[in-house]
Amino acid sequence: MNYSVGTTFQHYRITAALGAGGMGEVYKAVDTRLDRSVALKILPPQLVSNQDRVARFVGEARAASALNHPHIVAIYDIGEAEGGVAEEGAPTTVHYIAMEFVDGATLHGHIHRLRTEPKRLLEYFAQVADGLAKAHGAGIVHRDLKPENIMITSDGYAKILDFGLAKLVEPERTGGGSGSSLEEAETAVMARTQAGVVMGTVGYMSPEQAQGKPVDHRSDIFSFGCMLYEAATMQRPFQGDSLIDSLHKIVYSQPAPIRESNPNTPVELQRIVRKCMAKDPGERYQSIRDAAIDLRDLAKEYDSQPTLSHVFAPATLNEGQVQQVSSAYATQFQPGPGSTVSGPAQQVSSGSISAIVGVKKPSTKLWIFLGIALLAVAAAAVVFLMTFFAQKQAKARGPAFESTRIAKLTNTGQSVHGAISPDGKYVAHFMRESGKTGVWVRQTATSSNVQIVPAADADYAGLMFSRDGNYIYYARAEKGSTYRSLYQIPVLGGTPKKLIDDVDSAITFAPDNKRFAFVRLSQADAKLLIANADGSGEQVVSSTKQPDIYFEPAWSPDGKTIAVTARLITGGYRYELLAIQVSDGSSKTIGTKKWLYMDGLAWLPDSSGLITSARDQAPGAKVQIWDVPYPDGKPRKITNDLNDYAGMSLSADAASLVTVQTNTIGNVYVMPSGDYARAQQITQGSARYDQVTWTGDGHIVYVSDAAGSADIWVMDADGKHQKPLTSDAGVNIFPSVSPDNRYIVFNSNRGAATTSISVWRMDIDGSNARQLTTGEGDFFPQVSGDNKWVLFTPLVVGERPCLWKVSVDGGEISRFADPITVRAAISPDGKYVACQYSTGQPNQNAVVGILPSSGGAPITKLTIPFNEYHWSADSKSILFSDSKEGIWNIWSVPMEGGPSKQITRFQSDQIFSFDFSRDGKQLVCERGVRTTDVILIKDQQLAPKE
């Protein structure tokens, strides 16, 4: 049944026909209520005649609609229209499904028509696996997975269609149950096929599905493997002469090996496909997430493995080309040193090589004589050779990490720091477990992973190996404390030994391993100190006044210099690399580059440069790994991708580097207060939305890098009409709307000769921007309840950060509160100010203090996390985000103190930012996934030759 353009069902108006959709006709339509495009699927009458079946389908489709995942097409509405206005005699009762409209091509088109490059296809498949993992975690099985049910958006996102639709067409069970014969099952499938429902999908069914048995998430994994097989071979795995023949092959036969159709397919991809397509569900991947991890690991090998240029089926090759491809493939997988060789090669022992090549063996006496002479020469030369090559290696090999190979060492998404042993054999890392953190050690060559410090509700930082590789060092602060103590533990576990208190960085050892350096911060200054290996004999090498501080130190191979990353605010906000002389504490800047952020530092063994993780000032830049020549030179990127890299650690020979790779996907959701199950995702993107806040008239202001730099944007409450309010190059962040809805105050470095951050004000529509302060680091502006003042936190005035205020029209600034008071949140009734508060005394934990709006001492102190906090609409409670047992939600605590109360019931995703509307009826929330895993980067120039 076909419908014309202009036909309406309820509030949907058809604008175009999109074609058949498996279980009905699909149309592009406009939702006239929300003014958005949707895909409208009209279900055939024969599928909706049984009301019990429809009820089951609706229940599952509703569950699928709540998945809210970037790789699953959202279901907006399911229903039937009575008396719809249809043309050409269309029936008056229509059953429909309204879904997210996706502008793009199917995965089938990318495989067969567009011939999309292999690395991108691997990522599409990994995204599909991510979406399936989300559904499987909610107990939902797709049942009809095939390339035609995967859409690839124009901006490169895979989206799964038709969750729950296969449930509608399952046959009614009549007594046979799971014990029905294969013939009966085939007949049932054929009946559905003859109705035009499952035609073309039989090639992707699992064996249990083909037999009419109950299915679980592992059936989808089998179908996923069938799609991968098709991408690699351009053929479906179970093609038969008839439907019955195809079903028989699904249940009893193995597909033709991939290598027969595409001999250049990597062994790893063939393994992944085999594991997905095991006949026995128990032998498949038990979680599709594991398949996603393996696919992404394979994709990372793409650039460094020549044979991966034809991961999937290539275009037709002539005979000579086939021979070249086969030869390259064989060469790629020649066994290297230490490999096990089977077949005739095993019969050739080292003692028989001379006979094979026709060389006569020397006599025993000659061997003894030569041995004595060689030992004498070796004893004299070994030290010289080791020293010589250690000094010359980097210069001989060219730039460090110019050719790299990347391997993921963890796959939990919860590793937050990594350090590699000097010999490159072990990696230590912190790992979160249900909101707690522990210390683990694994071998780089194997998957062996051992926990050496049990998970605890504490703050860990600064992992480091001793230069001899015998011990691991880390800093730990107990829950609620900001003071970390340094601990030492044997590399394979034991009892941790506390060495010193008040350590604010990783330590770095001198070349002789007898001393280490570290950074200690106070409210007045930052000190670089040296201590003996047992923690005794502290000595200050250098210090700098707050707010300029040191972060990560690295002791040079010659022992003369300690390099540090420094955050400098005096003279303009930036990070720099400093070289501090151990002998006299003098310092100089390394190079001329100014950075927005730095984290992690290590010297190359010949002192020719340093490796660091840093973010430069390019718009939209990510934290990448850099090679910085010493003492001067142009920095060079080692990594250059869309991920962030947190910290780094280098082996003694600089052949291996360990860092933590961060991947973030975040989007904005809007939902009614108290009914958070009705959360509606209103944006699509990858971490492009942050610092969300409501305007007084129901719009959403947020920060986005969609235009290439951090700017302030506004959009409707349904995500429509997104537009920038700032468009100046540089940084525009931390927007806050005045109570009277006239102004937005924000931080910006516009018009500054340096990267200094000050407070600005603009009209609610983005016009009439005006600078209110001229400080070098004035952050977190908020307008007072009477709309007369702006509270902000300078990071350069005085010796401690505290709240200051300025008129909403600019002018003189004055101190609002003391002692340490940071990031104000003003109550809706204008009577109170919440802020991060501390007296600065040793061992005194920071809290959220509730101050009178006139300033002065706190009237209440609340011990809550500093992730993000706001006032409730009635000014009686503080709302904050927190991850308890690894699950992020929003909590409420009375302003006078007391037990916290959970107010949202999210089951997944991290909360990056949130805000309640002025009337408290709507919640806007940026939620998403941020995974952090340890990766190993190998310098191919130093890799063993195969």
Which residues form the catalytic set? Answer: 144
Beta bridge partners of 520: 527
Find the radius of gyration of the CA atoms of the chain. Answer: 32
SS3 sequence, 723-763? EECCCCCCEEEEEEECCCCCEEEEEECCCCCCCCEEEEEEE
What is the distance between the alpha carbons of residues 253 and 257, in angstroms, rounded to a whole number? 12
What is the distance between the alpha carbons of residues 70 and 928, in angstroms, rounded to a whole number? 9
What is the distance between the alpha carbons of residues 820 and 836, in angstroms, rounded to a whole number? 8
Write out the two tokens for 836: 């991060």
Cα 283 versus chain centre, distance: 29
3-class secondary structure, 787: coil
Q: Are 713 and 722 within 8 A, CB to CB?
A: yes
Write out the two tokens for 513: 């391993």
End-to-end CA distance of the chain: 64
Whether the link from the prior residue into 207 is cis, omega within 30° of 0, is no
Q: Are 517 and 530 within 8 A, CB to CB?
A: yes
What is the distance between the alpha carbons of residues 272 and 296, in angstroms, rounded to a whole number? 12
What is the distance between the alpha carbons of residues 564 and 587, in angstroms, rounded to a whole number? 10
Residues 6 or more apart from 160 whose CB is under 8 A from it? 71, 72, 73, 128, 131, 132, 135, 142, 145, 149, 150
Q: Are 744 and 701 within 8 A, CB to CB?
A: yes
For the chain, what percentages of helix, strand and coil (3-state, to nearest 5) are there? 20, 35, 40
Cα 202 versus chain centre, distance: 36
Q: Which residue from 54, 40, 73, 246 is spatially nearest to 169, judged by alpha carbons?
A: 54
**CA within 13 Å, CB half, 152:** 19
What is the distance between the alpha carbons of residues 559 and 748, in angstroms, rounded to a whole number? 42
At 308, give phi and psi (nearest 5°). -75, -5
What is the distance between the alpha carbons of residues 576 and 589, in angstroms, rounded to a whole number? 7
CA distances from 717 to 98, 699, 922 (A): 20, 5, 10
DSSP-derived pairing of the beta strands 539-545 and 549-555: unpaired
Q: H helices of 739-895, where?
A: none
Beta bridge partners of 926: 668, 913
Residues 6 or more apart from 154 whose CB is under 8 A from it? 103, 104
Helix axes 217-233, 267-276, angle to 10 degrees: 140
Residues 6 or more apart from 716 whose CB is under 8 A from it? 699, 700
Q: Other CB atoms closer than 10 Å to residue 383's CB: what's the count?
A: 9
Residues 6 or more apart from 254 whose CB is under 8 A from it? none
What is the distance between the alpha carbons of residues 796 and 360, in angstroms, rounded to a whole number? 80
Whether the link from the prior residue into 171 is cis, omega within 30° of 0, is no
